[in-house]
Amino acid sequence: MWKLVNVVEETDSAFNGRIQILKSIEGTRILVGGISQSGWLVKKVWQSALEKIKKLKPDLQSVLILGLGGGSVAELVSQYWPESETTGLDVDEKMVEMGRKYLKLDTLPNVKVVIADASSWVSTCKEKYDLVLVDMYKGVDIPPEFTTVSFMEKVKKLLRKDGAAAFNHLYSSIEKKDADEFGKCLRRVYSATASVTPEANIIYICFT
């Protein structure tokens, strides 16, 4: 069954290149390189992971999102933990602008937006968080600095005692080998890990 998809805006970003805003019967998506960065499909990818975390951690005070994009994951966090304070970090101001324009990012309660490069920001951040969500894609790729054990250890240091972190990775036949290696690195850093495989993704849930 064919679905009508409308491109409602195209814009250029110094970081991500061409950004497209698509609307269809399912909702709105923000795409880079043909891959959804924000919108209904991204929420679908993250939903099962956050439901699993919600069962384990029903009450959270603080959440950090590395790779805020247009704010779709922040919207889910606001639904599952409405009392939590959320910090959403993204390097691409244009992407955040599109989230405000098309995905109602500005209407989310208790969400603080930070425009910064996560690779340096995590090294200097003094705050501690109950949950860190990592979704660091640039188009179809994760920049290599965010796939290292060093970066994973820096994320771990941002967690409070008994905190958790979740990392998203594409998991199609093309990316499976890299994703499995990524998971091995995470298991070297965290005391326990679990995973969910929604759509063509895998989300690793890691515990201190």
Alpha-carbon Rg for the chain, nearest whole angstrom, is 16
Q: Which residue has the tokens 């779709």?
A: 72
Helices (H), the chain: 40-56, 72-80, 93-102, 118-124, 149-157, 176-189
| Residue 162 annotated as catalytic | no
Specify whether the CB–CB gap between 17 and 30 falls below 8 A: no
DSSP symbols for 172-203: STTTHHHHHHHHHHHHHHSSEEEEE--TTEEE
Q: What is the DSSP letter of 68?
A: -
Neighbours of 70 (CB within 10 A): 30
Catalytic member of 90, 92, 130, 135? 135
User: CA–CA distance from 27 to each of 6, 139, 151 (Å)?
Assistant: 11, 20, 34
Q: Is 124 exposed, middle or buried (0-12, 13-18, 19+ CB in 10 A)?
A: exposed
Residues that are catalytic: 135
